[in-house]
């Protein structure tokens, strides 16, 4: 997993301010769906996945309030995965009416006690990537005219030919290439902002 990016440190550092509503909204908007999707991929019902999301984010809030994010725990992406994995374990235990684990245990100990499989981690990475791009696309879309967005989507995401898209949208071929390149450049910047390192 990538190291904790500088920009994320900035957001995470901002979360220590209990009154920074904008940062919390941003955080919940980005990471909430990742946890939710992870829970759903593990077979949780909608309401259970929502519960999982809530307890994980509440745990993040509590951790931030205590001491902020601890870099020693590794990347935030990985730390959140560990937390989600642990809470999922607890939730499943509760659903099976088995005694839950101790939610306050040290995360590193939990890793050892309840190791995540490669498949778990792959699921998490998949959700994280999807959410990262979904978030970036939502932000980027607001920055462009709708025709620009459509031209980008049809060519870059759906792989249609530039001249065909130009014909369908009533644009010049040059305008289509400008559209897809400008949107892609914006997406790349947004993804880099969240990842904090050069996009792959």
Partner 1 sequence: MTPPTACPDARGLKRLIDGRLTWPAEAALTAHLEDCAACQERLEQLAASDPFWERTARNLAGSRTRFPSALDRRLNLSAAAPESPAAAPDYTRRRFLVAAGVALLGLGLGAGIAWKWSAGPNPDSGPAGPTAGGTDPGPAEPRRTGVLVVIAPVDFYYPDYVTVRSGLETNGIRVTVASTARPARPSPPAPGAAAGIITADVEPHRHLSVVRGNEYDAVVFCGGAGVTEYTRPGPAATAARRVIADALAARPPVYVTAVGTGPVVLAHADCFRGGVRATCFPFGQPPGTYKAQLVERGADWVPDGIVEAGPLITAQGPEHNMAFVRRLLDRLKPAR
Q: Which residue ranges make up the site for partner 1 (CB under 8 A)? A: 18-19, 21-22, 24-25, 28-30, 32-33, 36-37, 40, 46, 49-50, 53-54, 57-58, 61-62, 65, 129-130, 132-135, 137-139, 141-150, 153-154, 156-160, 162, 168-169, 172-175, 177-178, 180-182, 184-185, 187-188, 191, 199-200
Measured distance CA(57)–CA(31) in Å, rounded: 8
Q: Minimum distance between the CB of residue 101 and partner 1, rounded to whole angstroms?
A: 20
For the chain, strand residue ranges (E) read none
- For residues 40 and 92, which CB has a smaller minimum distance to partner 1 in the complex? 40
Pick the closest to residue 30 from 111, 114, 152, 134 (CA basis).
Answer: 134
Pick the closest to residue 136 from 124, 123, 120, 152 (CA basis).
Answer: 152
Q: Minimum distance between the CB of residue 115 and partner 1, rounded to whole angstroms?
A: 27
- What radius of gyration do the chain's Cα atoms show? 20
- For residues 114 and 153, which CB has a smaller minimum distance to partner 1 in the complex? 153
- For residues 99 and 159, which CB has a smaller minimum distance to partner 1 in the complex? 159
Q: Minimum distance between the CB of residue 180 and partner 1, rounded to whole angstroms?
A: 7
- For residues 42 and 182, which CB has a smaller minimum distance to partner 1 in the complex? 182
- If one counts every other C-beta atom within 10 angstroms of the C-beta of residue 164, the result is 13
Torsion sign (Cα): 139, 3, 55, 114: positive
CB 83 within 8 A of CB 56: yes
- For residues 40 and 114, which CB has a smaller minimum distance to partner 1 in the complex? 40
Q: How far is CA 185 from the centre of its chain?
A: 20
In order, the DSSP letters of 130-175 are HHHHHHHHHHHHTTS-HHHHHHHIIIIIT---HHHHHHHHT--HHH
- For residues 9 and 175, which CB has a smaller minimum distance to partner 1 in the complex? 175
């Amino acid at each position: 997993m990538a190291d904790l990016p500088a920009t994320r440190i900035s957001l995470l550092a901002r979360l220590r301010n209990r009154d920074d509503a904008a940062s919390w909204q941003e955080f919940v908007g980005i990471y909430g769906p990742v946890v939710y999707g992870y829970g759903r991929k593990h077979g949780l019902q909608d309401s259970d996945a929502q519960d999982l999301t809530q307890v994980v984010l509440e745990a993040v809030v509590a951790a931030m309030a205590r001491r902020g994010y601890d870099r020693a725990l590794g990347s935030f992406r990985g730390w959140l995965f560990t937390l989600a994995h642990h809470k999922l374990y607890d939730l499943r235990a509760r659903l099976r009416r088995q005694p839950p684990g101790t939610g306050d245990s040290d995360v590193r100990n939990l890793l050892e006690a309840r190791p995540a499989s490669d498949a778990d981690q792959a699921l998490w990475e998949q959700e994280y990537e999807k959410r990262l791009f979904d978030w970036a696309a939502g932000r980027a879309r607001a920055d462009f005219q709708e025709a620009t967005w459509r031209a980008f989507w049809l060519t870059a995401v759906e792989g249609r030919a530039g001249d065909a898209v130009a014909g369908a949208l009533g644009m010049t071929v040059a305008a289509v290439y400008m559209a897809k390149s400008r949107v892609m450049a914006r997406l790349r910047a947004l993804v880099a902002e969240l990842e904090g390192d050069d996009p792959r």
